[in-house]
Structures are given as C-alpha cells and as structure tokens.
Structure 1
C-alpha cells in the first residue's frame, strides 16, 4: 500500500499536470488564430517528443520496449494524445477557452463510473460527497464569469469537448489498468511520438509550416509552452500520479482545471476576478481533498496539535 508521502507526491504531480492543462486552453486559443489545429498539434508533439527524448537519454532509461506492449502504447497514444488533442483543438475553434475549461471538469464523472465498472474501485460516501462539492464549485465558478449566467451554445465545439472528457476518462482507466512495466517518462515519450507521426500528414497537406513565420514572440512562447509543459511534462506527471493513486482519485484533480484556466485568463487576458469565483475555487479544492481521503486525517492532525 502506498505511503502517505508517496500519495502526497502523486497528488502534487497530478496538480501540476492540471495546472499546465488549464493554461493550455488559453495558449491554444492564442495560437489558433494563425495556425490550423493540426499544424499546431504537429509542432506541439514534435517539441514534446524531443523534450521527453532528451530527458530519457539524460536519465539513461532504455528506449527499447517489448513487442508485447507495442499495441498498448499505440492504443494509449491514439486515445490519450492524438484523438484527445484533435477533439480539443477543433472544439476551440468554436468555443472560448473558459468554456472548454469548465466542460473538461466533468471528465471525473466518466472516470469514476469506468473505474467502478472495470477497475473494481469502490464508491464511498465520502468520495460521493467530495464529487458533489467539486461539481458545485465548478458551477459556482462558471456562473460567476463576468457576472453572467453560465451558457454554452449547443454547437459542434460543445459536443467535441464532451466527447473529449469521455475519451480522457477511458484513457486514464486504460493507463492504470494496462500496467505497462516501463517508467512513465518512456511511456509518455512513445505516446507523444505516436501523436507526432499520426498528425504529420496533416501539416504536409496544409503546408502549416508556412504559418510559423506569422507568429510573434508571445505566440511562439505559447507554442513552446504547449510543447514542453503540456504535451511533455503534464502527460509524464499524470502517468506518475496514476502509478500511486486510484484512477478515480487522480481524475478528481480535473476539477481544479477551471481554476488554472481562470488564473491564466486573468493574467494573460486581463479578465476580472469575482469574490464568488474565489469561493467556488475553495469549494472545488475541498471537494478534491475529500475525494482523496485527506480531509479527515488533516482535521485529526490539527485537533491533535490543539490539545494541551
């Protein structure tokens, strides 16, 4: 059984992944004005694969994998990298970054259902309470945006984002259940490489490289961030978190994604922050802590320290 320290470390990995993915909606939206979705993905995967390869070589991991696990890596790469990123990038053509952030937060619902069905994980009353709190927090944050009620038009972008949440739940459960006996960094490298291979024909067809000269320094920085931190480090850390924690628990961190998106929107797009948004964010965090079974031990330690 994993120790409390290893669980805390895994939780930190998951939080970092979510932070990068939350910001990615803003960065993707910033670059899509000049790059088509497929060209953006090719460059992202290329930067990510190169970065991960350098880490693998520096840490002297073996790149060779057994032929037995090649189908596993291909399935994970297609679902978790290629299909997932294509769905999201295409959706962002018709919906804004903030809406995408709110929608992806509902992926844990699918993950919990799949984890119960296929990983035999249990749905405790505390986990259910934490999930309800987290969903409530997401709704509070989303309805507070610009003082307007939360509304997303029923268009193709909305449907694609919903599909991406289901797809991500399937990917997370598979990544946990397949138990590929290789370091997460190696698994992530091959997934990113597969994403690069699958999307390369699109950039050739669209001559996407010609649009790179149109990007300014800020947009190039967004592109570099998407490649290194979103396509590389975030996937790597997510896999590391799933090594220790249950898939349903790791998925709960997705409720924090709207907070990361909101912060990025404020810092990069100068959007306003409302007090009710902060309150909703706190509720989300409390819900995630409850789901991961940390609230009761934390309260116990606090009460113990206060005893004379």
Structure 2
C-alpha cells in the first residue's frame, strides 16, 4: 500500500487521537486530586486553544470564518468540548480511569443506534445480539466484589461515562455531516475557544486558580499533556480523519482506546485490574464489533494472515 494513501494517513491520525484520549483519563484522574473538574477543563482547553492558535499563525491560516457557520461551530463546541468533558471529568471523580476507558468503547454502538433511528438503517438479529453482548460487558465492569460474590453497583460515574459515549457519537456524526468548509485545525481551534468561554465562568465562581499553587511538576506535566496533546492535537487529528473516512469507520478505532487507558492506569496510577473488569471490557469490544458487522471480515483477515 503506498505511503501517501489518504485512507491510510487518516487511519494513522485516528490512531494517534485514540492513543492520546486513552491516556487522558489517567492524566485527568491524577490532576483531580488537586483541581476541581471545571478548573481542569478550563485550563486544558485554554492551553489547547493557545497551542492551536500558534499552529494557525505558523501555517498562515486565516482566522476568519463566515457567520453562516458560527452556529455549527457553537453546536460542535458545546457537544464535543463543554458537555463531553464535563461528563467525563465528573465521572472520573467516582470511577477508575481503566473502567472509563472500557466504557468509552461503547461509542460505536450508539453510532449504529443513531443510524437506525435517523438514517433508516435496519435492525438485524446480529446487531441485536451484539448489543446484548456489549450491555453484558458493561454490567460486568460496573459490578463490585463483596467477599466471594459480585453485585452490581449503582454509581453515577458509570452512568455519566456511558452518557458521554452517546454524546461523542452524536458529535462525530455532526462533525462529519455539517461539512464546515474550513481546515480541521481552524475548526478545532474555534471549538476549543468556545469550550473555554463556556467553562470560564465556572472556574471564576469556584476560584480554581487558587489551587494551581498546589500542583507539583508531575501534575503540571499531566495538565500540559491534556492541553497540548489531548485537547489540541487529538481533536485536530480526529477532524482530519473524519475528512477522509466515514464516521462509522473512524469510530472503529475506539476499540483500541481501552488498551491505551489500561496500560497508562497500571503504570501511572498503579490501578489494580480485576479479571471481571477485563473480561467485561473484552465482551464489550466483541459486542461492538458484531454490531458494526466487522466480526466476519476481522476473522477472515486474521485467518488469511495466519495462512500467509
């Protein structure tokens, strides 16, 4: 396959985005010990917007956008930045980073559900079975151990995390369908700026800047990573991938996000991974693959590679 293949390049962009987002749960969890959720969002998107602005200046891209597309940018900024980040950061107050990583892989399922409801795609027995399997995996992850038995816990963090995956599916579909005729870098900058403006009143109300003096160099490193690589580069590259690939195809890369989160959580937060959580995560991914009709092609590809 040629190196300059646009689809291969787009896949590479999506993979980078997913890797950064996977680690973002760990970095957010680490900073939550010192900063409130709103302060984290304001600071990371402030850093991200500044970083993107510098890139725009370096690449000599005009900042002007037509007022016609301002509502589009506001909607994307509200969903992709404001709502999405508040849901995830609040969820991380009560659940492990590794659990958040597993649950985010549900996003492709919601993409399929939205397609059935609004794009007249048909529900099949295979899709239904895959959804049931994925829900089973969610129930396993959200269970807690008591003695030698497991029971299912009602934790608002799990609910918020699942809600954020639905929100992300809506955002990804809109980002693809709205067809804003500007570079992904410029669109991402305005989304970050809108997210910053919307969340700024919260940090002013809570006086979150007072806690900045409590951060050590490690926590500042996490915050800079969230701003530059997660809020800046990852959102930018996700938009670049959606410019070339279908939304459903790009969402498939979310299968890999839990792996990134799991490795980072174990290495950086020393989280213990329960077997039942890992099993639930694997079941979710299998269910999502079945729903999206990727199981047979995937098995065929593996079998073909093995024979070669």
Q: Which TM bucket (shorter chain)?
A: 0.7 to 0.9
Distance apart, 1:228 and its partner CA:
0.7
Q: Are residues 300 and 82 of structure 1, via their aligned partners in 2, closer, same or farther at CA, if it must alter by over 3 Å?
A: closer
Q: Say whether the 8 Å CA contact 2:116–2:123 is kept in structure 1.
A: yes
The Cα of 1:115 is off from its aligned counterpart by 3.2
Moved over 3 A (4+): 115-143, 148-152, 270-308
Do structure 1's residue 266 and structure 2's residue 266 form an aligned pair? yes
CA RMSD of aligned residues (A): 3.7
Question: How big is the shift at 1:183?
Answer: 0.8
Distance 1:35 1:149, change over 3 A: farther
8 Å Cα contact 1:36/1:208 also seen in 2: yes
* Corresponding residue for residue 163 of structure 1: 163
Alignment of 1:278-293 (within 5 A): none
TM (normalized to structure 1)? 0.81
1:45 pairs with 2:16:
no
Distance (whole Å) between structure 2 residues aligned to residue 172 and residue 304 of structure 1: 32
1:98: which partner in 2? 98
CA gap 1:125/1:253 in 2 versus in 1, 3 angstroms: farther
2:178 maps to what in 1? 178
Q: How many residues align?
A: 305
Q: Verify the 8 A CA contact 1:131 1:252 in the aligned structure 2.
A: no
The Cα of 1:270 is off from its aligned counterpart by 3.6
Verify the 8 A CA contact 2:95 2:157 in the aligned structure 1.
yes
Question: What residue number does 1:216 align with?
Answer: 216
Following superposition of structure 1 onto structure 2, how do residues 1-308 of structure 1 map, counting pairs within 5 Å? Answer: 5-118=5-118, 153-271=153-271
Segments of 5+ residues of structure 1 without an aligned counterpart are: none
Q: How far did 1:82 drift? A: 0.4
Q: Which whole-Å CA distance do the structure 2 matches of 1:240 and 1:234 have between them?
A: 10
What TM-score do you get using the length of structure 2 for normalisation? 0.81
Q: Give a deviation string over 1:192-228, Cα, whole Å, max 9, x none.
A: 0000000111111111111011011111110010111
Q: Retained in 2: the 8 A contact 1:48–1:192?
A: yes
Moved more, 250-259 or 69-78: 250-259
What secondary structure sits across from 1:196 in the alignment?
Answer: helix
Structure 2 Cα separation of the partners of residues 35 and 116 of structure 1: 40
Q: Deviations over 1:231-278 (max 9, x none)?
A: 111111111111111111211221211111111012213456799999
- List alignment gaps of at least 5 residues for structure 2: none
Q: Secondary structure at the match of 2:5?
A: helix
How far the C-alpha of 1:303 sits from its partner, in A, is 9.6
Report how far residue 113 of structure 1 moved. 2.0
Change (3 A) 1:126 1:60: farther
